Structure 1
Amino acid sequence: MAYTRKDVSTLTKAERRRFVGALLEIKRRGEYDEFVRIHIEYYVSDGEDGLRTAHMAPSFLPWHRRFLLDLERALRRVDSSVTVPYWDWTKNRSATAAPWTADLLGGTGRPSDQRVTTGPFAHAEGNWTLTENVTDTEFLTRDLGRRRDPIQLPTRSDLEWALKDPVYDTAPWDSTAGKGFRNKLEGWGSGRGSASWRNHNRVHRWVGGAMLGGASVNDPVFWLVHAFVDLQWSRWQRRHGRPRYLPAEPPGRGSAQHGRIVARHERLPPWDTTPDELEDHSRIYRYA
């Protein structure tokens, strides 16, 4: 039977406690840090050589769907009642509302070094030391809204701009694609600075701190952000009659993307699964 992922703002006190408890337990076991390592390894940009699967590529959505499922399975081995909630950043836009409460993820970082000092993931609590990172920082950092150069979270109209595009993705299949739902939702735009950050990318930058790089998984809000991104993929499929992942076939040898992106029926590293197999989640979970 499919289980349900809920809006984080609707969780009961018991559900909040159990979700946090399961996260802390897989961190204690050392399982959580493996997820951080995987994300760092697959944080590959357009400008790097080799295969891109997690970012700046059509497989952004199925890669993170599988990544979320693996995390969720780890949590449910601890507590079978737990699922990953989603954060609707178009509705819960305050830096003090869920999920930024003391009984969930805690709040923003202090001005001096962005160190999070509230909630169960604060370093002082002794349960959330960063051991896998791209810097030597051991404590969780955030800068919600960016104090020195404020930005706003994406709006409903920003999401609608992505959702109304009927095509999943288009050439050149990277961060420069001007059309296609995937890149509009991932959020790579033209130009420079904050105006070019849309949807998913803008949320990462609004949170700031640990969420700004390849080690963004160190902040548990990563999962709530990507659960909401995953929900948008589901909504887009329903709106447009379940159109398929693109490209259907790998780019040919004459393409700059040859060997650099995953086609519909190709294996999606690091797993032995394909985007095609991840398009339908209805037998596993649903969204409230």
Structure 2
Amino acid sequence: MAYTRKDVSTLTRAERRRFVRALLELKRRGEYDEFVRMHVEYYVADGERGLRTAHMAPSFLPWHRKFLLELEKALRRIDDAVSVPYWDWTRDRTPSSAPWTEDLLGGNGRPSDRQVMNGPFAYAQGNWTLKVGVTDVKFLTRDLGRARDPIRLPTKAELEWAIKEPVYDASPWDSRVTKGFRNRLEGWGTGRGSASWHNHNRVHRWVGGVMVGGASVNDPVFWLHHAFVDLVWSRWQRRHREHRYLPAKQPGPGDPQRGRIVARHEKLPPWDVTPDDLEDHASIYRYG
């Protein structure tokens, strides 16, 4: 039977408590840090060599769908009543709204070093030491809204700008593409500063701290953010039923993206699944 991913703002106190406990237990076992390592490994920029699967590529959405499913499997081995809630950042838009409560993810970082001081994931609690990252910082950091250079969360209108785009993705299949739903949602834009970050990317920067960069999984809000991104993909699929994941096949010989992206029926590293396999999640989970 399919389970439900709920809006984080609707979770009961008991549901919040169980979700937090499962995350902390996964961290205690050392399994959580493996998810951080995986995301760091597969965060390959389009300026680098090799295959891109997690970001700046058509497979951004199915890769993170599978990543979420793997995390959920691990959590449900600890507590089979737990699923990942989603954070609708077009509605819950302030540092005092869900999910930034003391009984869930805790709040903003302090001004001096952006260390999160309250909630179950605060370093002082002793249960959430960062062991995998791009710096040596051991504590969770956040800069909600970016105090020195303010940035706002994406609006419903900005999200609609992505969802209304009927084509899934387009050449050159990377961060430079200006057409297609995938990059309008992933959010690589042109120009400089906050105006160049759209939707998914801007949320990472609004949260700040460790959420900026490949080790963003160190902040548990990563999962709530990507659950909402996954929900948005589901909405796009329902609206544009005649459109599918692209590319259907590898770009032609001589194309610089040939062999650097995953086509619809090709395996999506590091798993033995294809984007085609991941397009329909109805038998596994639904959104409430």
The one-letter code of the counterpart of 1:179 is K
CA distance in 1: counterparts of 2:257 and 2:208, whole angstroms: 31
The one-letter code of the counterpart of 1:121 is F
Structure 1 unaligned segments of length 5 or more: list them. none
Q: CA deviation at 1:252?
A: 1.9
The 3-state SS of whatever aligns with 2:4 is: strand
- Hey, what does 2:233 align to over in structure 1? 233
The 3-state SS of whatever aligns with 2:162 is: helix
The one-letter code of the counterpart of 2:117 is T
- Hey, what does 2:47 align to over in structure 1? 47
CA distance in 2: counterparts of 1:69 and 1:176, whole angstroms: 29
Q: CA deviation at 1:251?
A: 1.1
Q: CA deviation at 1:241?
A: 1.4
The one-letter code of the counterpart of 1:12 is T
- Hey, what does 1:218 align to over in structure 2? 218
The 3-state SS of whatever aligns with 1:271 is: coil
CA distance in 2: counterparts of 1:223 and 1:79, whole angstroms: 17
Q: CA RMSD in A?
A: 0.5
- Hey, what does 2:104 align to over in structure 1? 104
* TM-score, structure 1 as length reference: 0.99
Q: CA deviation at 1:242?
A: 5.2
- Hey, what does 2:22 align to over in structure 1? 22
- Hey, what does 1:245 align to over in structure 2? 245
Question: Is 2:287 aligned against 1:287?
Answer: yes
Alignment of 1:170-249 (within 5 A): 170-241=170-241, 243-249=243-249
1:220-279 residue CA offsets vs partner (Å, 9 max, x unmatched): 000000000000000000011152100000112210101100000001000011000000
Question: Is 2:60 aligned against 1:60?
Answer: yes
The 3-state SS of whatever aligns with 1:4 is: strand
The one-letter code of the counterpart of 2:9 is S
CA distance in 2: counterparts of 1:252 and 1:258, whole angstroms: 7
Structure 2 unaligned segments of length 5 or more: list them. none
- Hey, what does 1:259 align to over in structure 2? 259
CA distance in 2: counterparts of 1:6 and 1:66, whole angstroms: 18
- Hey, what does 2:115 align to over in structure 1? 115
CA distance in 2: counterparts of 1:276 and 1:239, whole angstroms: 18
CA distance in 1: counterparts of 2:72 and 2:272, whole angstroms: 18
CA distance in 2: counterparts of 1:119 and 1:2, whole angstroms: 31
- Hey, what does 1:77 align to over in structure 2? 77
Report % sequence identity.
Answer: 77
- Hey, what does 1:11 align to over in structure 2? 11
Question: Is 2:133 aligned against 1:133?
Answer: yes
The one-letter code of the counterpart of 2:12 is T
CA distance in 2: counterparts of 1:242 and 1:280, whole angstroms: 14
- Hey, what does 1:158 align to over in structure 2? 158
The one-letter code of the counterpart of 2:209 is G
Q: CA deviation at 1:195?
A: 0.3
* TM-score, structure 2 as length reference: 0.99
The one-letter code of the counterpart of 1:224 is L
CA distance in 2: counterparts of 1:30 and 1:193, whole angstroms: 37
Q: CA deviation at 1:210?
A: 0.3
1:29-50 residue CA offsets vs partner (Å, 9 max, x unmatched): 0000000000000010010000
The one-letter code of the counterpart of 2:276 is D
The 3-state SS of whatever aligns with 1:84 is: coil
CA distance in 2: counterparts of 1:8 and 1:150, whole angstroms: 25
The one-letter code of the counterpart of 1:70 is E
CA distance in 1: counterparts of 2:86 and 2:175, whole angstroms: 25
The one-letter code of the counterpart of 2:197 is W
Number of matched pairs = 288
Q: CA deviation at 1:110?
A: 0.5
Q: CA deviation at 1:96?
A: 0.9
CA distance in 1: counterparts of 2:183 and 2:46, whole angstroms: 13
Q: CA deviation at 1:24?
A: 0.2
CA distance in 2: counterparts of 1:242 and 1:80, whole angstroms: 35
CA distance in 2: counterparts of 1:272 and 1:253, whole angstroms: 25
The one-letter code of the counterpart of 2:188 is W
CA distance in 2: counterparts of 1:247 and 1:116, whole angstroms: 41
